[in-house]
Amino acid sequence: KPPGSARVFSGIQPTGVPHLGNYLGALENWVALQNQYPSVLYSIVDLHSITWPQDPDQLRNNILDMAASLLACGIDPQKVILFQQSQVPEHAELCWILGCLTSMPRLRHLPQWKMKTKLKNEGSVGLYTYPVLQAADILLYKSTHVPVGEDQVQHLELAQDLARIFNNSYGELFPEPRALLSSTRKVKSLRNPSAKMSKSDPQTVATITMTDSPDDIALKIRRAVTDFTSEVTFDPETRPGVSNLVMIHAAMAKISVEEALLQARGMDTGAYKGLVTEAVIQRLTPIREEIQRLRTDRVHLEGLLAQGKHRARELAAPVLAEARHRVGFC
């Protein structure tokens, strides 16, 4: 049982409506955490999103689409503080303070910079320093726990390091946040099971989004890459495509992998895809319908984010004021 002073923080970029990998890898866990911890903040991190060029109108729509999606997935604004990062200016100011405590070699070796700059052989200053902004997001609320995937652990370690560096330099202020690792496996691309499911995948049938129709879902799963063995087994190393379907089935039906394999006994992979399709459609249909309903009420979504902004700033402002005082600004 978490202590009464425990606080969870996490953020998600406003890339529009989430896909199945976002749901199983993060959002399902977010919904569970809001019932387990006394203080929870979830942020739509739009400052992070502009490390790559964005169309302003599309970004505005994406922010509201993400808010609608989070609510439809079960995030309860009565239990959590749900807010838009850029509406809380304390994030950016604490980022500057922490950036002045961060060395360039420390950032150069983080995986996100190495991975993204390989694509274009260049990157913005924002992309280079955005792990510092991630650290500021977390420390600004004196967060004690952060749900992360394995690929984000090194970024959380930077936040832990910066908490220690600040505390050693200016006196104890920030707790060192701990990782809450998700137990869900990464959802793989339906067309290339060696890669993660991604909204940027050029093959549209590779990714299931939360607003896909039942027909879209059925088509995408039917065209999912498997292999030449008809039996359904779970072996991610040698049979990644079939194993990805088993993992999706188990997660969406809320059963174990072993139970999913029992249900698949006697089926070939073609017939099993029908079982997976049924589980996905059953789980996503109420979420899709709620997203569509919420999308029609922009005023309601904007009002919820405005309320979240005020609640977030009530927590952030005194922490930033103390940090400013410690470094000598006031």
pLDDT of the residue at 265: 96
| Residue 123 CB contacts under 8 Å (≥ 6 apart), including other chains | 51, 113, 116, 117
Q: What is the predicted pLDDT for the residue at 113?
A: 67
83 φ, ψ to 5°?
Answer: -150, 165
User: Are the beta carbons of 31 and 65 closer than 8 angstroms?
Assistant: no
Tens of pLDDT, residue by residue over 211-258, are 999 999 999 999 999 999 999 999 999 999 999 999 999 999 999 999
Res 109: pLDDT: 81
Residue 120 among the catalytic residues:
no
Q: Which two three-digit tokens encode residue 99?
A: 């950036």
Which residue out of 118, 120, 199, 220 is catalytically annotated? 199
* Annotated active-site residue in 1, 116, 120, 142: 116
Query: Is-contact 194 188, C-beta < 8 A?
Result: yes
The CA distance from 154 to 83, in Å, is: 25
How high is the mean pLDDT in each 10-residue block of the chain (330 residues)?
85 95 94 96 97 95 98 98 98 98 89 64 83 97 92 90 98 96 82 93 95 98 96 96 97 96 96 98 98 97 98 98 97
Q: And the tokens for 48?
A: 């992070």
Distance CA 2, CA 208 (A): 34
Tell me, yes or no, if 196 is annotated catalytic: yes
Is 116 a known active-site residue? yes
Which candidate in 118, 196, 273, 309 is catalytic? 196
